[in-house]
C-alpha cells in the first residue's frame, strides 16, 4: 500500500526508501519477503545507547514530535536499569489527562536553590540574606560535553539552545573565552585551578558549579558572586560526602553517574538517586535543597523516572550529542575517556533547532506521563514512590513462594 513493491519488476526490486516498517508484506507473503536489518545500523551508539535509542532521539531532534509507531510494540515490558521501573498510570488517579493538547495546564517548572523552612524577622529586617532561587520552565539542564568536543561551534550551539529553551547549560569556565556566549543561562564549571579564569568571566551567572568539594573555593565563589547559586558536582555514590557538604552550607547538588548510568560501585542511577534523596529525608532537610541528577538518561521516559526517584531535575549529556548526529567511537562509559565524532560541518542554527526540537518532544512526553498519573505540576512528582512500580519487587511478590524462583 506504500508503493514499496510498485517498481518495474515488482518485489524483485523493491523501493526500500518507501518502507515504513509496517511489516504487512512479511505477514502476508512470508515465503517471498524478508526484511533484514542494515548491518551498518549496528555501529550506531553503543551497548547502552542502542541503535533503537539513537533512531528515536534522531527522530525527535528532526521533527520535535512524539515518536509513535503503528506497527505495535514487540519488545519486552521490563528489563534492567530504567526499564525495571514502571510508572503507575491507573485510570482512578488521572483527572489531568489532556495537558499535551492544551485543554488543561500542567506545570513543568522547577525551582533550583535553597528553600529554608522559615525566615526570622528582627527589627523589620530578615535575620539573614534571602536565599537565591532560580526557576526554569523544564526540569532539564544541558551538561558539559567531553573536553575534545568543546569547540567554539559546540559551545555556541549548546549555549544558544539553552537560552532558546530557557534552561541552563554547564560549561567549563576555561571554555568561556572572549568570543564565547554570555548570559545568566550559562553555568561555569570551575575548579581551584581555574579560579583566575572565573575572575575574568565578565558576567554574573545565575548559577556556578564546583567540580568537587573544596571549602575554600566554595567560600571564595560565594564572596565573588553573592547573588549566584553555588552548585556542587559530585560523582555517585556520594551520600556521606553529600551530607558533609550540606553541613558546610551547600544546598544544590549535581549528582552524576557515568554515561551508562552506573556509579563507581556499579549500582544503577535509580538506586543511587533514591539513596541520596532518602539521606536528606532522614535528616529532615530534603525540601530545603535541590538535587539534579545526570548520567544514563537517554530517553524521554527517563526524565520522570529520575524525578520519581528523588531528583528535582536532570541533566542531559549524550542525548544532546546524538541530536547533533555525533557518532560513538567505541563504548562511551566514562566522561573523561569517551570519544565521539561530530559531523565535519554543521551550523549553530542547525544544532540549536535540533536540540530545541528534542526538548519540545521530551516535554510533550513528560506531560503525557504526568497527565496519566494525575499530576498537575512536576514538583509534586519528586520522590513520589507511590506512583512507581519496580519490576524486581513485583516479581518477588508474585513468585517468591514458587519453588525455583530466584530474585
Residue 99's pLDDT is: 62
- What domains does the chain contain, in order, with CATH numbers? 1-36 (no CATH), 101-392 (3.20.20.70)
Arithmetic mean of pLDDT, 102-118: 86
Q: Report how far Cα 48 is from the mean position of its chain's Cα atoms.
A: 15
Residue 70's pLDDT is: 64
Neighbours of 3 (CB within 10 A): 10
Task: Please identify which residue in the block is written with the cell numbers 560535553.
Answer: 145
β-bridge mates for residue 290, sequence order: 252
Work out the angle at residue 360's Cα, subtended by the Cα atoms of residues 355 and 364, and round it to the nearest 5 degrees.
145
Q: Would you say residue 98 has pLDDT above 80?
A: no
The C-alpha cell at 99 is 495537558
Lowest mean pLDDT across 140-154, 184-198, 215-229: 184-198
Q: Would you say residue 95 has pLDDT above 70?
A: no
* Helical segments of 238-268, H only: 239-247
* pLDDT tens readout for residues 229-238: 999 999 998 8
Q: Which parts of 218-312 are beta strand (E)? A: 229-235, 252-256, 290-294
Burial class (CB in 10 A: 0-12, 13-18, 19+), 280: buried
Residue 101's pLDDT is: 66
278 Cβ contact list (under 8 Å, min separation 6): 310
Confidence of residue 100 (pLDDT cuts 50, 70, 90): low
Residue 278's pLDDT is: 96
- Which pTM does this prediction carry? 0.89
Secondary structure of 263-276 in HEC code, one letter for each residue: CCCCCEHHHHHHHH
Burial class (CB in 10 A: 0-12, 13-18, 19+), 224: middle
Cα separation, 383 vs 24, in Å, equals: 43
Q: Would you say residue 88 has pLDDT above 60?
A: yes
Burial class (CB in 10 A: 0-12, 13-18, 19+), 220: middle
185 compared with 93, residue with greater pLDDT = 185
Neighbours of 380 (CB within 10 A): 15
Confidence of residue 296 (pLDDT cuts 50, 70, 90): very high
Q: Would you say residue 289 has pLDDT above 70?
A: yes
Dihedral (Cα; 280, 284, 290, 291), 10-degree rounding: 20
Residue 169's pLDDT is: 97
Residue 107's pLDDT is: 92
CB distance 207 to 252 below 8 Å: yes
Confidence of residue 49 (pLDDT cuts 50, 70, 90): very high
Residue 241's pLDDT is: 93
Average pLDDT, the chain: 89
Residue 253 three-state SS = strand
Amino acid at each position: 500500500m506504500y508503493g514499496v513493491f510498485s517498481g518495474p519488476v515488482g518485489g524483485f526490486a523493491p523501493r526500500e526508501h518507501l518502507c515504513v516498517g509496517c511489516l504487512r508484506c512479511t505477514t502476508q507473503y512470508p515465503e517471498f519477503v524478508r526484511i533484514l536489518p542494515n548491518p551498518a545500523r549496528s555501529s550506531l551508539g553503543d551497548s547502552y545507547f542502542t541503535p533503537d535509542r539513537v533512531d528515536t532521539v534522531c527522530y525527535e531532534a528532526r521533527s520535535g514530535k512524539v515518536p509513535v509507531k503503528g506497527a505495535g510494540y514487540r519488545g519486552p515490558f521490563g528489563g534492567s536499569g530504567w526499564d525495571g521501573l514502571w510508572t503507575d498510570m491507573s485510570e482512578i488517579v488521572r483527572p489531568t489527562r489532556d495537558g499535551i493538547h492544551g485543554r488543561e495546564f500542567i506545570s513543568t517548572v522547577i525551582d533550583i536553590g535553597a528553600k529554608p523552612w522559615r525566615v526570622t524577622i528582627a527589627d523589620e529586617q530578615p535575620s539573614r540574606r534571602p536565599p537565591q532561587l532560580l526557576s526554569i520552565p523544564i526540569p532539564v539542564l544541558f551538561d558539559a560535553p567531553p573536553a575534545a568536543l568543546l569547540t567554539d561551534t559546540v559551545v555556541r550551539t549548546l549555549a544558544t539552545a539553552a537560552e532558546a529553551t530557557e534552561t541552563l547549560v554547564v560549561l567549563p569556565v576555561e571554555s568561556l573565552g572572549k568570543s564565547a556566549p554570555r548570559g545568566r543561562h550559562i553555568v561555569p564549571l570551575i575548579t581551584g585551578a581555574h579560579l583566575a579564569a572565573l575572575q575574568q568571566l565578565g558576567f554574573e551567572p545565575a548559577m556556578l558549579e564546583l567540580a568537587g568539594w573544596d571549602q575554600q573555593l566554595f567560600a571564595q565563589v560565594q564572596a565573588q558572586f553573592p547573588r549566584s547559586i553555588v552548585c556542587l558536582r559530585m560523582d555517585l555514590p556520594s551520600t556521606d560526602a553529600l551530607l558533609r557538604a550540606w553541613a558546610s552550607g551547600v544546598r544544590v547538588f549535581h549528582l552524576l553517574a557515568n554515561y551508562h548510568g552506573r556509579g563507581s560501585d556499579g549500582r544503577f542511577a535509580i538506586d543511587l538517586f533514591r539513596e541520596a534523596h532518602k539521606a536528606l529525608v532522614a535528616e529532615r532537610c530534603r525540601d530545603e535543597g535541590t538535587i539534579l541528577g545526570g548520567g544514563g538518561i537517554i530517553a524521554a521516559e527517563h526524565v520522570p523516572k529520575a524525578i520519581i526517584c528523588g531528583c528535582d531535575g536532570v541533566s542531559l549529556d549524550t542525548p544532546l550529542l546524538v541530536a547533533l548526529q555525533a557518532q560513538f567511537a567505541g563504548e562511551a562509559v566514562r566522561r573523561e575517556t569517551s570519544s565521539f565524532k561530530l559531523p565535519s560541518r554543521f551550523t549553530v542554527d542547525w544544532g540549536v533547532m535540533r536540540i530545541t526540537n528534542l526538548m519540545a518532544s521530551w516535554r510533550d512526553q513528560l506531560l503525557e506521563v504526568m497527565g496519566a498519573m494525575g499530576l498537575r505540576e512536576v514538583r509534586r512528582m519528586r520522590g513520589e514512590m507511590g506512583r512507581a512500580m519496580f519490576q524486581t519487587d513485583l516479581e518477588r511478590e508474585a513468585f517468591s513462594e514458587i519453588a525455583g524462583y530466584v530474585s
